[in-house]
Amino acid sequence: MTFYAVDSKRQSMRSTGIVNEVKDWVVGADGKRRPGEAQSRDEDTGMPLWEVEVLYRQVSFGRESNTTGVVRVGSPVRPVMGEFAPVRFDALTAEVRVTKAGGLAESWQAEALSEEAGAVTTAVQSGSGGSVASGSGAAGSKAATS
């Protein structure tokens, strides 16, 4: 698959405040794939993976619109994002592919939340429910590229 580097400073994004765990896919007894209970981890770093929902502007066929997407990022703790707060990512990449129906689908990955973002206020340990302070720091490392 081909991934394209995206300058996070030029592609303005705002957090919706929604952050979800990325679940490993498992094959059920019926042979169908579905999300499992275990959280996915980055193949290179072993960090838990999170999907940060973002709002951004796009232009399609000359028409501007706002759309949401998710950026997959690795972090030892769950990022807590401010609602509609500006967010930046380090090493942001995008992949666009053609779906079976002939439409376009995109996926976003990043190595980390940018130190400049300032949107991360606190974080929750993965699976613990406890809260730890994170300042404005980065919340991750290299994300999976699958």
The reported pLDDT for the residue numbered 115 is 78
The reported pLDDT for the residue numbered 118 is 52
The domain limits of the chain are: 4-133
- pTM metric for this prediction: 0.73
SS3 62: coil
Number of Cβ within a 10 Å radius of residue 42? 22
- Integer Cα distance of 89 and 138 in angstroms: 9
The reported pLDDT for the residue numbered 137 is 37
Number of Cβ within a 10 Å radius of residue 13? 25
What are the residue ranges in the chain where pLDDT is below 70?
A: 1, 116-146
SS3 37: strand
pLDDT in tens, 76-88: 999 999 999 999 9
Per DSSP, 126 falls in state T
CB 76 within 8 Å of CB 47: yes
Element (H, E) at 124: strand 120-125
Q: Which residue has the tokens 């592609």?
A: 11
